[in-house]
Amino acid sequence: MRSVSLILVAGALLSQSACLLLRHPKDGASAPADTDLPATEETDPDADTDPPTDDADTDEPTADTDPATADTDSATAPTILGTWKTIPAGTFRMGCVVGRDDVGVTCSAQTNELPTHSVTLTHSFWMMQSEVTQGMWLGLMGNSPSYFLTCGSTCPVDSVNWWEAASFANAASAAEGLSSCYALTGCTGSASAQSLTCTGVTVNTVSGSPYDCAGYRLPTEAEWEYAARGGTSSAYSGSAVVGDVAWYSVNSGSTPHPACGKAQNGYGLCDMSGNVYEWTWDWYASTYTAGAQSNPAGPASGSFRVYRGGSWFGDASYARVADRRNFDPGGRLNYLGSEPVNVNETRRVHIL
């Protein structure tokens, strides 16, 4: 995730939170069902008149399972870092949908959030309930990179670049004896010294897909948006009222805040809108690929990585779930951090 308070050009300090995702070794296993969460069916208010959409798939199917909101979703939930939540497999409409995401903006003007399209995620996964905190980062990596150190150990880590977020995911895998998802190449410096930069990354799976990783990873952009929506049609993650769920420019006091100080979304996740932005796996493209997709992982290459979620620095429009941002993977922002997944998310995901 990124905090947008101090941004310098060339050697600027950027703040990012990372998401972690881990895939369960038993391929195709579904996440445990539960009845605590509301149904995850999302109605598609997408009108034919504004942003372009697929010509099919106007009804949003329900998610395959109903995950629990309890702190421990099942006995098989990851134990590393913090509390993890089950995110069920399912289908949703990704992008700026008229009547859902056009709060303070016009969807037709948000060209990088178009065309809206149907996305199906075929596996359930675990995601960490909160962003990676300063304390979690210190415990695993042995250093404290955050610009906002005085915020404390329960505040989201910031000022980590994409390479360091990926390195954090690998460190989480190593701590649990799992295969690393990422092979980083051409690297100099180290994450522990807040100086890591690399020239390349490959996914350690036969298929080359991050969805097949055995260890922790960053969430794909599609996984991030699906989890952030929480099975609802709200513009923000968990509410139609931004202040209910987000620390942003109006209420933050120009600083991040301890994790999970605002309301959770339908999947029991917090700070998916506001506080600090979060890195995702995907390379950035200026528009989405049209048409229905299954388990998308973004472009094969690019110059910038996608980060999501809004921050203490940005206004309410940046906290919308549909909002997309991009940055140099070697850059740092004090409003950008990390969130793993167990099954690929350096913020909080574990795919089953």
pLDDT of residue 294: 98
Taking only the tens of pLDDT, the chain with its 352 residues reads: 333 211 111 122 334 455 544 333 333 333 333 333 333 334 443 433 444 444 343 434 346 644 443 333 444 677 778 899 999 999 999 999 999 999 999 999 999 999 999 999 999 999 999 999 999 999 999 999 999 999 999 999 999 999 999 999 999 999 989 999 999 999 999 988 889 999 999 999 999 999 999 889 999 999 999 999 999 999 999 999 999 999 999 999 999 999 999 999 999 999 999 999 999 999 999 999 999 999 999 999 999 999 999 999 999 999 999 999 999 999 887 544 444 444 333 333 333 3
Q: Indicate the residue type of 64.
A: D
pLDDT of residue 282: 97
Q: Please tell me the distance from the alpha carbon of residue 289 to that of residue 285, in angstroms, as a whole number.
A: 9
pLDDT of residue 18: 54
Of 146, 142, 144, the residue nearest 14 (C-alpha): 146
Token pair of 180 as six digits = 């690393």
**Does residue 346 contact residue 279 with C-beta atoms inside 8 Å?**
yes
Token pair of 6 as six digits = 């101090």
The CATH class of the 1-352 domain is: alpha beta
For residue 303, give Cα distances in angstroms to 45, 219, 244, 286.
34, 18, 35, 12
Q: Please tell me the distance from the alpha carbon of residue 278 to that of residue 272, in angstroms, as a whole number.
A: 8
Q: What values do phi and psi take at 278, rounded to 5?
A: -135, 135
Task: Collapse the DSSP code of 279 into the 3-class scheme (helix H, G, I; strand E, B; otherwise coil) and give the result.
Answer: strand
Q: Indicate the residue type of 160.
A: V
pLDDT of residue 194: 86
Query: Is residue 214 packed enough to be buried (19+ CB in 10 Å), middle (13-18) or exposed (0-12)?
Result: middle
pTM over 0.85: no
Q: β-strands 21-23, 345-346: how paired?
A: unpaired
Domain boundaries, the chain: 1-352
Residues 6+ apart with CB under 8 A from 30: 64, 65, 88, 89, 124, 352
Enter the DSSP assignment of 253: -
Identify each DSSP E strand in 131-251 by its residue range: 182-185, 200-203, 216-217
**For residue 172, what is the enclosing H or E element?**
helix 162-175
Q: β-strands 349-351, 21-23: how paired?
A: parallel
Q: Please tell me the distance from the alpha carbon of residue 114 to that of residue 108, in angstroms, as a whole number.
A: 8
Q: What values do phi and psi take at 243, rounded to 5?
A: -65, -20
Task: Give the bridge partners for 306, in sequence order.
Answer: 326
